[in-house]
Amino acid sequence: MAAPLQPPPDPQFVLRGVQSAVNALHFCRESQAQGSSLLFSGSQSGLVHIWNLQTRRAVTILDGHGGQSVTWLQSLPQGSQLLSQGRDLQLCLWDLAEGRNAIVDSVHLESVGFCKSSILADGQPCWMLAVPGKDTDEVQILEMPSKTSVCTLKPEADAKPGMPMCLRLWQANCSSRPLLLAGYEDGSVALWDISERKVCSQVSCHEEPVMGLDFDSQKARGVSGSAGKALAVWSLDGQPSLQVCSTHELTNPGIAEVTIRPDHKLLATAGWDHRIRVFHWKTMKPLAVLGFHSASVHCVAFAANGLLAAGSKDQRISVWSLYRPRDSATPFLGESEVGGRHFTAA
């Protein structure tokens, strides 16, 4: 007889004090942390909190979006710089070096939707930025920091995918052409060739709008979640062409965000049903359902050391230490060890 499943663990700790819904999370790059483990959070009230995870307190609060919700956060590899996107139609570039907290540049956005931007940066002075465009179905590509327009990606006249809901810039290597993955309102995911300004491939993944996607460039494999119950896993072949590999039905509808851990071992989802779900990324085997929050979970983020953070409408940020990466003090738990000793099934 199999041993009974033990309940999932509690968070390692909880960050409080945001005083509004937490909509975006991003772990600071190790090179920028200056000896401290930092987490950025963006709130519905327009504030960005910078949390020291050793003291578990906010060390700085950035106020640059006029009280309008912060929807996306991303640090740049070059120097101590942070991007924040808000519903005030501003994308702000912050200089955080040596204790500074100044906005040094900004991009005016022309879309009032909830589509998060994406960057392609490898530490060079110039980098690429994808933002929702002026028309509802457009994506604008900019070269930064000059803000030079590279192109506008607009679907063909007979294609009606609706609004872009999430974006992911990537390229296979430094010599290859940049590509864009976009999840749309009609439930499809499209692969754009930015140089050619055309869709290389488009696949229908969901019956509801795509709320979040992530892509594993090493495996040429991605995942998307929607307002429905299904997670879709899709792959990219050498053509390049997108193909749906599998779908995974969840108990309740509504996935706000999906994220793959940097070591490509785990996948986490943020659920409207207040739950965080963890999957083995290679097999999509459910590993855990984490049920701490009392309202919708809006965002999830992984740190390089394996920590998982989740932000919720309940104004709290839970931080979890689950399956550790192989290079940490605690080895990654293989498939033979999941599901029984530590976690309930998803």
pLDDT digits (tens, 9 = 90+) for 186-243: 999 999 999 999 999 999 999 999 999 999 999 999 999 999 999 999 999 877 899 9
Confidence at residue 313, expressed as pLDDT on a 0 to 100 scale:
98
Does residue 27 fall inside a structural domain? yes
Does residue 88 fall inside a structural domain? yes
Confidence at residue 330, expressed as pLDDT on a 0 to 100 scale:
39
- Given a cut of 70, the residues of the chain with pLDDT beneath it are 1-8, 29-36, 174-175, 326-346
Confidence at residue 323, expressed as pLDDT on a 0 to 100 scale:
82
Does residue 53 fall inside a structural domain? yes
Does residue 225 fall inside a structural domain? no
Does residue 173 fall inside a structural domain? no
Q: Is the distance from CB of 315 to CB of 18 less than 8 angstroms?
A: yes
Confidence at residue 98, expressed as pLDDT on a 0 to 100 scale:
86
Q: In terms of DSSP H, where are the helices of the chain?
A: 30-33
Confidence at residue 25, expressed as pLDDT on a 0 to 100 scale:
98
pTM of the model: 0.90
Does residue 5 fall inside a structural domain? no
Q: List own/partner pairs for 243-248 with CB under 8 A and 24 or more apart.
A: 243/203, 244/203, 244/204, 244/205, 245/221, 246/284, 247/205, 248/279, 248/284
Report the distance separating Cα 93 and Cα 74, nearest Å: 10
Does residue 43 fall inside a structural domain? yes
Does residue 63 fall inside a structural domain? yes
Confidence at residue 175, expressed as pLDDT on a 0 to 100 scale:
65
Domain count, the chain: 1
CATH number of the domain within which 102 lies: 2.40.10
- What range defines the domain where residue 44 resides? 19-109
